[in-house]
Amino acid sequence: MTQESALSILKTGRNVFLTGEPGSGKTHTINRYIPYLRQLKINAAITASTGIAATHINGMTLHSWSGVGIKKKLTDTDIRKIRKYRGKKINKTAVLVIDEISMLDASVLDLVDTVCRVIKGSELPFGGMQVIFVGDFFQLPPVRHQDEAPYKFAFESNAWQSANPAVCYLTEQHRQSDSELAGLLSAIRSGNILDLHYECLDSCLARSPTSSVVGDYVVRRPNNQKITKLFPHNADVDKINLKELNELPGSPVSFIMKSRGNERFVEQLKKGCLSPEELKLKKGAVVMFTKNNFELGYVNGTVGTVMGFSENDFDEEDVSPIVKTREGKKIIVGPAEWTVEENGEAIAKIEQLPLRLAWAMTIHKSQGATLDEAFIDLKGAFVEGQGYVALSRVKTLGGLYLNGYNENALKVHPSVSEQDSMFRNKSAEIESEFSQLSDDDLTLKYNAFILSAGGELIKDDRKNRIKYS
């Protein structure tokens, strides 16, 4: 399905599961839908399953928005507190977006459904609001601690079944431009990994006669440039980044995060932001941008090197790093903002340089980033989807430097594989259904949803027709 078709279905108010392979445009489609809703004065809540995902969409975690927090079940007292502190916001919400749905446990989704029904006084799924699940179940699953029961995917919840979302399976590809890599990722998704796919991976193993040693790892780079390394565990990441920074000459320049607004949501932003609260940089540091800014020429995942620091004409102590990207573009990097928004207004905000040290990072934190090149160590992969997420960060096999992989690295959960074929079939069915609707039929559906959601129809005076762009 194309993004345009998915957007059309979203505008009818149907509950939707927006999915597709990495790079298919899920976030881009949502980023087009939200301004449309705001233009029509429809209240939408933008949430995600994790703090990191929430910062990517200027939203908050679903746990915070709904008031369920870390609870495993809700008592009558819990419901009364949620009604007191979150009831007004939930009541006003007509559209609920939940990003990175693969990482949300079914039990949490059921709790949120219960809260929405009680607060809104309706037995309809999620109290009658439009709910949009966004994500790809082949990516990272819910985090499970050792003392917890096995996780269940969101699609296994009662709430999902009740919502009965129309599946919009995006098929366009805007990241991978390499047919071999695309074939490898498709093989992992289907569970049909052949000898040729193993040969493809083995060809990317980093150890070779032309290798150069970087830190404790060997990276095949003829020009000896250091590239971002992805690891399953935090310990490897912290060790490499600190070691590399300390080996550079000179004293580091520190950049401290600023914040304001609701303290609880400020803390959520800090935990989810890929830029650290204190960012230490030196000339020669390898960094990665942590936010999109198309005008300045960088996106979340763009990698470069600090070439020096530019002094501010008005404050000699205020300096900005000059970063040269791998493409040769020089950018004077100023502070960026991350916000939590409700009804289009910022209720919490943090400000920091959109950078992080990028000699290494965890696979979990890489989800959502697009890298031209990456050194990936999958020998310690420990959960389904970890290898798939890591490998799908790069655009081509030429940018993949592999340090090894274990049997867990290429595994996907069997329930996900089975469900995926059903999702594809349902997507084809809904696409066929909507293709038979005329423009007038769609307009009627759009109007009906706008009015039911408390929105305002916007007319184009020149044509006296409803505008929807």
What are the tens digits of pLDDT across the range 89-148? 899 999 999 998 998 999 999 999 999 999 999 999 999 999 999 999 998 888 765 556
Cα–Cα distance, 256 to 273 (Å, whole number): 13
pLDDT at res. 225: 55
469: confidence class by pLDDT, cuts 50, 70, 90: very low
Q: How confident is the model at residue 290 (pLDDT cuts 50, 70, 90)?
A: confident
pLDDT of residue 443 exceeding 70, the answer is yes
5-14 pLDDT, tens digit per residue, is 999 999 999 9
Average pLDDT of the chain, as a whole number: 84
Q: Is the dihedral of CA 433, 435, 440, 444 positive or negative?
A: positive
What pLDDT, in 10s, does the model give residues 299-344?
A: 777 778 999 998 764 444 678 999 998 778 899 999 999 887 765 6
Q: What is the mean pLDDT of residues 190-197?
A: 87
Kindly give, in sequence order, each residue whose CB lies less than 8 Å from that of residue 243, ignoring residues fewer than 6 positions away: 215
Mean pLDDT of 244-254: 92
pLDDT at 355: 94
The predicted pLDDT at position 223 comes to 46
Q: Give the least confident one: 110-124, 224-238, 378-392, 416-430.
A: 224-238
pLDDT digits (tens, 9 = 90+) for 48-102: 887 666 666 667 788 888 988 777 888 888 889 899 888 898 999 999 999 989 9
Say if CB 356 and CB 287 are below 8 A apart. Answer: yes
pLDDT digits (tens, 9 = 90+) for 361-395: 888 878 777 787 888 989 888 888 888 989 988 88
pLDDT average, residue stretch 226-235: 82
For residues 43 and 129, give the distance between their C-alpha atoms in angstroms, rounded to a whole number. 10
pLDDT at 209 over 80: no
Q: Who has greater pLDDT, 359 or 11?
A: 11
Q: Higher model confidence: residue 176 or residue 413?
A: 413
Neighbours of 225 (CB within 10 A): 14
Question: Is residue 415 helix, strand or coil?
Answer: helix
Q: Phi and psi of 399, rounded to 5°?
A: -100, 10
Q: What SS3 state is found at 324?
A: strand
Q: What are phi and psi of 320, to 5 degrees?
A: -125, 135
Given this model, what pLDDT does residue 461 score? 41
Could you give the CA distance from residue 314 to residue 354 in angstroms, rounded to a whole number? 22
